[in-house]
Amino acid sequence: MVVDQQAASVQYSQAVKHGGVVKICGVCSDRAKSLHFGGMACDSCKAFFRRSVQNEAYKHFRCSYEGRCSITITSRKCCQYCRVRYIGRRMAEPRHECL
């Protein structure tokens, strides 16, 4: 988890140095390109969520750790149940547009 935080920090620092707008996936903290399903998401989380919903695979996901998995860049593929649950929670949160 510390490695993921360091990686996100490096990505943020590099984007700020180059004057870029920092877009971070609200699920796994990877670099995001745009809004998907109502929230900022990386391509990996976008595709995972789309596939899970299209074929209703999410109904069969199970967690071996009682639904307490941490979703990060490196662990996002470890537990489908926690990832889709986390995506659903994040995308359902009310958003306040500041800009």
- List the domain boundaries for the chain: 2-92
User: Mean pLDDT, to the nearest integer, of 9-15?
Assistant: 52
Q: Is pLDDT of 71 > 70?
A: yes
CA-to-CA dists, residue 74 to 30, 67, 70, angstroms: 9, 17, 10
More confident residue, 4 or 36: 36
Tell me, what's the pLDDT at 93?
55
CATH fold for domain 2-92: Erythroid Transcription Factor GATA-1; Chain A (3.30.50)
Pairwise CA distance, residues 2 & 67, whole Å: 21
Q: Is pLDDT of 54 > 80?
A: yes
Which range of 10-19, 73-82, 90-99 scores highest in mean pLDDT? It is: 73-82
Pairwise CA distance, residues 15 & 6, whole Å: 14
pTM (global) more than 0.75: no
